[in-house]
């Protein structure tokens, strides 16, 4: 039975003190209200928070992650952070391929494949994002776009490496806009993605792959999104910054 996961993507929000306070609050909540055995919660904080947040996360099933990493092992890359550095903080995950990285920072498929490989090599698990922009959906090429993201970013991996990746479908038109994909739209794309995985790695791998939905997911719509057979939880941006809202989303698992 694959896990159900809610991951918070804090993006570039909260200073160190605020980040630690939220992590502590959430940890206390999940100590008092333990997660179900196949549920997991991941907090993806800014780099600067990682070393302070990771040790705070002691509740079973609660872990930390980063939002990006460099594709090189080490060296003269001023301002960059390596996968090994992230892992050394105790963080277990890294988000790669987020649409904001693709669009605002020009990250392409080849770079993301290299980052994914480097992250896995250093013992991180990858939350790999894919998703179309509105114009692509309107043109009816959203399946092609998602197929390309996944084929180029993940399908170079061996099966055992791929099994350490979580896929997050995030339609770009739903990110931070308040417009959420309908449960039917989410299920349709998640089913398509699972089919791609089956075609490449086989049925067993497809059944094991965790596919999260992201894009204006909040407490009021999480349950109807998570109720779909192929939606295994969510990647949460704005709503992950407010304890009550985030905990309500986790309860919807
Ligand atoms: P949102 O962001 O929940 O604020 O729409 C989701 C994401 O970008 O991961």
19 CB within 6 A, ligand 1:
no
216 CB within 6 A, ligand 1:
yes
Measure 177 CA to ligand 1 centroid, in angstroms: 9
Nearest to 13 by CA among 41, 48, 42: 48
Sign of CA dihedral 59, 97, 165, 121: negative
Indicate which atom in ligand 1 lies nearest the CA of residue 174.
5
pLDDT band at residue 1 using 50, 70 and 90 as cut-offs: confident
Q: How much is the pLDDT for 37? A: 92
pLDDT digits (tens, 9 = 90+) for 22-51: 999 999 999 999 999 999 999 999 999 999
pTM (two decimals):
0.98
Nearest to 132 by CA among 141, 123, 120, 122: 141
pLDDT digits (tens, 9 = 90+) for 181-234: 999 999 999 999 999 999 999 999 999 999 999 999 999 999 999 999 999 999
Which residues constitute the domain of residue 63?
4-251
- Checking if the pLDDT of 12 tops 90, the result is yes
**Phi, psi at residue 88, to the nearest 5°?**
-70, -15
Query: Is-contact 55 43, C-beta < 8 A?
Result: no
State the average pLDDT over residues 154-177.
97
pLDDT digits (tens, 9 = 90+) for 84-133: 999 999 999 999 999 999 999 999 999 999 999 999 999 999 999 999 99
Q: Is 135 helix (H, G, I), strand (E, B) or coil?
A: helix
- Checking if the pLDDT of 73 tops 90, the result is yes
Q: How much is the pLDDT for 232? A: 98
Residues 75 and 51: their CA atoms lie apart, in Å, by 21
Count the Cβ atoms, other than its own, within 10 Å of residue 210. Answer: 18
Nearest to 182 by CA among 212, 215, 210, 211: 215
What value does the CA radius of gyration of the chain take, rounded to a whole number of Å? 17
State the average pLDDT over residues 147-160.
98
State the average pLDDT over residues 146-164.
98
- Checking if the pLDDT of 66 tops 90, the result is yes
Nearest CA to ligand 1 atom 1: 237
Query: Is-contact 121 154, C-beta < 8 A?
Result: no
Structural domains of the chain, count:
1
Q: Which residues are catalytic?
A: 98, 170
The pair of three-digit structure tokens given for residue 169, joined into one six-digit string: 């479908």
Nearest CA to ligand 1 atom 6: 237
Residues 102 and 94: their CA atoms lie apart, in Å, by 15
**CATH code of the domain containing 107:** 3.20.20.70
Out of 215, 240, 248, give the residue to mutate to test ligand 1, the one with the largest number of ligand atoms within 8 Å of its CB.
Answer: 215
């Amino acid at each position: 039975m694959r896990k159900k996961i809610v991951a918070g993507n804090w993006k570039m929000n909260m200073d160190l003190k605020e980040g630690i306070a939220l992590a502590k609050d959430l940890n206390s909540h999940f100590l008092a209200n333990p997660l179900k055995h196949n549920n997991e919660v991941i907090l993806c904080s800014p780099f600067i928070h990682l070393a302070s947040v990771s040790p705070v996360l002691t509740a079973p099933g609660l872990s930390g992650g980063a939002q990006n990493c460099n594709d090189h092992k080490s060296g003269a890359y001023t301002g960059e952070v390596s996968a090994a550095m992230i892992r050394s903080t105790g963080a277990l995950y890294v988000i790669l391929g987020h649409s904001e990285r693709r669009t605002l920072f020009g990250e392409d498929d080849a770079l993301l494949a290299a980052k994914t490989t480097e992250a896995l090599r250093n013992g991180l698990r990858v939350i790999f994002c894919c998703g179309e922009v509105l114009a692509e959906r309107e043109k009816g090429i959203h399946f092609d776009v998602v197929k390309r993201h996944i084929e180029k970013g993940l399908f170079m991996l061996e099966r055992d490496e791929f099994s350490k990746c979580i896929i997050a479908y995030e339609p770009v038109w739903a990110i931070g806009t308040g417009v959420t994909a309908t449960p039917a739209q989410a299920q349709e794309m998640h089913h398509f993605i699972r089919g791609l995985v089956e075609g490449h790695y086989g049925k067993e791998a497809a059944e094991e792959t965790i596919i999260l939905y992201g894009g204006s997911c909040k407490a009021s719509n999480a349950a109807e999104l998570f109720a779909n057979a192929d939606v295994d939880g969510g990647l949460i941006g704005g709503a992950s910054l407010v304890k009550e809202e985030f905990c309500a989303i986790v309860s919807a698992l």
